[in-house]
Amino acid sequence: MPTSRIALAAGILSLCLAAPAWTQSQQIAIDASATLVEAAQAPLPEQRATQDLRNDFAKVFGREPRLVNRLEDAGPLAILIAERGSVPAGVTCATTSETEAFAFSLTKAGGANGRSVVCLTGADLRGTIYAVYQFSQTVLGVDPMYLWTDKAPTRRASIPLPADFARVFPSPVFRYRGFFPNDEDLLTGWIPAKPGEQTGISLKVWDNIFETILRLKGNMIVPGTWIFPDDAQVQAASERGLIINQHHAIPLGVNVARWPKDVPYNFSTHPEILERAWTNAVAAYKPGQEILWSVGLRGLSDVTYAALDPSVRDNDPLLGKRVGDAIAAQMRIVRARYPNAQFVTDLWQEGARLVQEGHLTIPPGVTVVWADTGYGDMQDGGKVAAGQGAYFHVAMMNGRANQLSEMVPVSVIQQELGRYIRAGATAYLLMNTSDIRPVAMTTRAVMDIAWGGLPKGQGDAEGAWYRQWCTEEFGANSAQAIEKVYREYFTAPAPREGITPGSAQRNYSRVPRWVGDQFYHTEARRLILDVLSGHQVIAMPSQSPKWTLPRVEAAPDDAARRAQRERDIADCAAAQPRWDAVWRDALAAQNLVAPGRREYYQAGVLTMIAINRESNRMLLNIAQALRDEAAGQNAKAQAGAATALQALDTIQKSMAAAEYGKWKNWYRGDWLTGVSRTRELVQAYANHLKDPLAALPAPLTWNGWEAYFHIMRYEGDRSVDVR
């Protein structure tokens, strides 16, 4: 154990031994009569957390507690919320000075017969916020993911506190920890922003996201995909006490998906244009915001810079130099305004390769962040080192991974993040959550590790995690059965060429271990369009600027087309019995789920399985129908298309069942996986089989254009300021 951890453990022990001796007769019980005490001058983020605690009290006890600004105005039982340096005189609370750490303790104010005080104290602002939310979780029983799992705490008349309530919660394992809600189609379609809010997602939903991060003891947010620094949610996140970060494709906050038409994006020939854009983006952030600056150089949208600069194409040494020069320029620009700025660079895709091969040297003062493949496998090639960090996906939009369901097993999360912890690479952990609700379980798993590290003393850590999650969310009676369902679920998809975690294999970011929910739909649409459109398939722009022209995809040769179709048939046929087994076990486990949790079981487990199981069935039948049609067996092809339509209808029925209560219209924003678009195309194919003269679909690959039109629509014609 590191010396600092030994000292901290000793400090915790001495604190607990020195705590007041509360006998059973003196034991404190929390109820609706408790008074919350918070200084009138408390920072706004702390006040917001305190109001959340009042709301939690109302859920448990039926009404909000009274809130006062002075301890002497409190009743017999006070809950004091304060930073370490703001504890009222004469009150002895447990405290800690470690960054973002916090403490619980019990004390008396006003002598032995005075009021009882429950102290929730933080070393700093965020430590105090975490103390509030941890109290809510451990004492009131509020699920930190309740906004996404719909779990309500148990109604109680009172809750006794243990006599040894005193406890210090040390600093987190990872220094920076947070969400990147990326490719946010479902969130945008669910509750879009009101006119004038200057954001795509409702500010209320954004606030829900910020609250979730803080309840999970995160401290950082990348607030959307293609955004501007002055978008409303950026300031709203700051008002919640979160650090603002940018992702790898928008260094310093430059929204390159809105690069102005006819303006060169070339750091080799026009560095002054990019430097003006970076300078203007830095200036657009509001004073007082806490920012962790992302630096690097990629192309317009999320592509390699080499795609736009011919001089560095197929010239990795020069590409690495350009990226390094850009990082140096970006650091200089930021430090001119913020001398103490902190920097990270996310080595997504070609970045990892350039560093591994020695073509890119990251300057001192920049935290190196290795990215995974989108499937949980980190791309450091075994080179991860102390002081570095991780960019980790639990959801990934690439046409093959997951947008509507879980895909990354907890074993992979524990394995890869555990490797980083052992290496001391704990400076940063950004988690790509996409729309959050479909990946609630793995989101919680990653954030628990980000704060507290790996679970200790558990031979089967993955199983222990599943059982903990299932017990909390579905009830103890169902935990063992649903643990089995999760294990089967993560091994059911058709595998693809795998990689060894941490390997240095080139281009491994393009090679998943398994397929996700997007693959079935992307592949089925491609197969159908390829036949019906004579291979002249148009790909509309999606993340790229509005003025990017469509392109005609290169038509594969007949042999390659047949080989891919046959592989789809073989893979999906092999996977279907596995999916059927998962479904049977999930249905059987449903009877064990606590009655009040069956709606969430439908949304979080049954709908998730149905999407993948029926999508696999749909692709299998479409690929077989195309083969049968080519062999002149039209009746068999029609039967296959009909079965595919039934599978898609089953998916949509299951999705509708998951849109209960506040989740009405949740799947309205399914513009990236595009289940409804797949059904339209399968129906067109079924019509074609019955009547070759039936209307044909437009030869258009559905690759996300609609999603980004909606996600970015609030931006209008705004473009990056390069003046």
Q: How far is 574 from 572, CA to CA, in rounded Å?
A: 5
Task: Kindly indicate whether the domain formed by 3-169 is annotated with CATH number 3.40.50.300.
Answer: no
Q: At what angle do helices 607-630 and 675-690 cross, to 10 degrees?
A: 30
Q: How far is CA 367 from CA 250, 294, 364, 371, in A?
A: 17, 9, 8, 13
Q: What is the per-residue pLDDT for 542?
A: 67
Residue 409, burial from CB neighbour count under 10 angstroms (0-12, 13-18, 19+): buried
Q: What is the per-residue pLDDT for 554?
A: 57
pLDDT (tens digit, 9 = 90+) per residue, 49-108?
999 999 999 999 999 999 999 999 999 999 999 999 999 998 999 999 999 999 999 998
pLDDT at position 506 over 50: no
| DSSP-derived pairing of the beta strands 102-109 and 115-122 | antiparallel
- Identity of the residue numbered 133: Y
Q: What is the per-residue pLDDT for 544?
A: 63
Q: How many residues does the chain have?
A: 723
Output the pTM of the full model. Answer: 0.94
- Identity of the residue numbered 244: I
Q: How far is 658 from 600, CA to CA, in rounded Å?
A: 8
Q: What is the per-residue pLDDT for 448?
A: 98
Rounded to the nearest integer, the mean pLDDT of the chain is 91
Q: What is the per-residue pLDDT for 552?
A: 55
Counting DSSP H helices and E strands in the chain, the numbers are 21, 19
Q: How far is 86 from 77, CA to CA, in rounded Å?
A: 19
pLDDT at position 541 over 90: no
Tokens of 546: 């509005």
pLDDT (tens digit, 9 = 90+) per residue, 289-310?
999 999 999 999 889 999 999 9
Q: How far is 21 from 19, CA to CA, in rounded Å?
A: 6
Contact 264, 286 (CB under 8 A): no
- The structural domains of the chain, with segments of one domain joined by +, span 3-169, 176-454, 521-711
Say what the alpha-carbon torsion angle 452, 456, 460, 461 is, to the nearest 10 degrees. 0
Q: What is the mean pLDDT of residues 590-597?
A: 97
Q: For residue 546, what pLDDT band results from cuts at 50, 70 and 90?
A: low
pLDDT (tens digit, 9 = 90+) per residue, 609-661?
999 999 999 999 999 999 999 999 999 999 999 999 999 999 999 999 999 99
SS3 121: strand
pLDDT (tens digit, 9 = 90+) per residue, 116-131?
999 999 999 999 999 9
| CA 700 to mean position of chain CA atoms | 30
SS3 383: coil
pLDDT at position 163 over 80: no
Q: How far is 478 from 466, CA to CA, in rounded Å?
A: 11
Q: What is the per-residue pLDDT for 456?
A: 83
pLDDT at position 673 over 80: yes
Tokens of 712: 């970015």
- Identity of the residue numbered 627: R
Q: What is the per-residue pLDDT for 503?
A: 38
Tokens of 458: 């558990």
Return the percentage of the chain with pLDDT > 90, whole number.
83
pLDDT at position 718 over 80: yes
- Identity of the residue numbered 161: L
Q: For residue 145, what pLDDT band results from cuts at 50, 70 and 90?
A: very high
With CA atoms as reference, report the closest residue to 135 among 242, 250, 19, 217: 217
| Residue 243 dihedral angles phi and psi, to the nearest 5° | -80, 135
Q: For residue 547, what pLDDT band results from cuts at 50, 70 and 90?
A: low
Contact 493, 514 (CB under 8 A): yes
Contacts of 371 (CB under 8 A, 6+ apart): 248, 346, 347, 348, 349, 351, 352, 378, 379, 390, 391, 392, 509
Residue indicated by tokens 């298309």 = 641
Contact 45, 125 (CB under 8 A): yes
The secondary structure of residue 122, as a DSSP letter, is E
Count Cβ neighbours within 10 Å for each residue of 667-686 and write b for 16 or more, e otherwise. bbbbbbbbbbbbbebbebbb
> Residue 347 belongs to what H/E stretch?
strand 342-347
Q: What is the per-residue pLDDT for 618?
A: 98
Task: Return the CATH architecture of domain 176-454.
Answer: Alpha-Beta Barrel (3.20)
Q: How far is 430 from 368, CA to CA, in rounded Å?
A: 12
Q: What is the per-residue pLDDT for 497?
A: 62
pLDDT at position 175 over 80: yes
Q: How far is 269 from 273, CA to CA, in rounded Å?
A: 9
Q: Where are the beta strands (DSSP E) in 504-601?
A: 538-539, 551-552
> Residue 370 belongs to what H/E stretch?
strand 366-371
Tokens of 632: 């002149």
Sheet holding 700-701, edge to edge: 551-552, 538-539, 700-701
DSSP-derived secondary structure for 594-634: -GGGHHHHIIIIIHHHHHHHHHHHHHHHHHHHHHHHHTT-H
